[in-house]
Chain A
Amino acid sequence: MTEEMKVAVERKPQGAVLYTKGYINNVGGEEIANRAYELMDDGVRTLLLNLRETKIVNSIGISILIEIIEKMMDKSGKIAFCCLTPVIHKTFQIMGLANYASIYESEEAAVKELGL
């Protein structure tokens, strides 16, 4: 049984939005990380992850998201999330992500606040 992760990228004038679809586990997390690191290498310093089509995350996937946040912080950039389900939002708070990355209800609100 596999739950393939699909990641789409939309470049914005001041950064990028990553759209995830599927289960964020070790494989899904690595897929997101690869795309995020490509963007960072390309100079992106503001990255929004839209998780509208992700309904399940696990602790291994979250550990990879934390690594992405740390790498972006090392580059003085910022990462934010939007469109989380209530349980994913709660999970992010338990894991401490909410202290290091902003969380927005909608992409519109995030884009406006981040200046993307």
Chain B
Amino acid sequence: MTTTAERQMELTLPMVPDIEIAAARAVGNMARELGMSSERIDEMMHAVIEACINAREHSGCADNRIYLRFVGTSQGDGSRVDIWVADHGRGFDPEEARSRRAVPGTVHKRGRGLQLIESHMDEVDITTSNGGTTIHMVKYEKKS
């Protein structure tokens, strides 16, 4: 029989400078408790930071809040962390954001947060409308 351990956390954070660090540390601590490797935790933390920055910089929301939910599960064959980062802002066009990416290897100064999120996480799903945006991200780690 496989034992499953689950941890959950919900945070509502104000959109103030560097608040993304609080979010990243919270999810990092959860992942450490699940036994995830430091390299994968670092990748996940950087993705959370970019998602929070996108919400803070671009959402234009009236309530100035970022809503986060983390669910971590650990089974015999590894662990998984699901992360939702949501805002109540005006939404955005993910395809338009992706189209701003340069040819791989070339330098572009701004607008690369989504690319970093998608590179650092195993799964990314974006739900967005003029009522807000939710980015659902997943990070896995299989035990070797």
Selected from A1, A67, A70, A86, the residue in CB contact (under 8 A) with B42 is A86
Contact, CB under 8 Å: A99 / B24: no
Q: Does A105 contact B (CB under 8 A)?
A: no
Q: Does B9 contact A (CB under 8 A)?
A: no
Contact, CB under 8 Å: A1 / B18: yes
Q: Mark each residue of chain B from 1 to 29: 1 if its CB lies under 8 Å from any CB of chain A, else 0.
A: 00000000000000011111110100000
Q: Does A87 contact B (CB under 8 A)?
A: yes
Nearest Cβ on chain B to A72's Cβ, whole angstroms: 13
Nearest Cβ on chain B to A32's Cβ, whole angstroms: 15
With A and B bound together, what is the CA distance between A59 and B110 in angstroms? 7
Contact, CB under 8 Å: B102 / A60: no
Residues in A11-46 with C-beta less than 8 Å from chain B? 23, 25, 27
Contact, CB under 8 Å: B119 / A99: no
Contact, CB under 8 Å: A3 / B18: yes
Nearest Cβ on chain B to A92's Cβ, whole angstroms: 11
Interface locus among B43-51, B73-81, B134-142: B43-51
Residues in B98-129 with C-beta less than 8 Å from chain A? 102, 104-110, 112-113, 115-116, 119-120
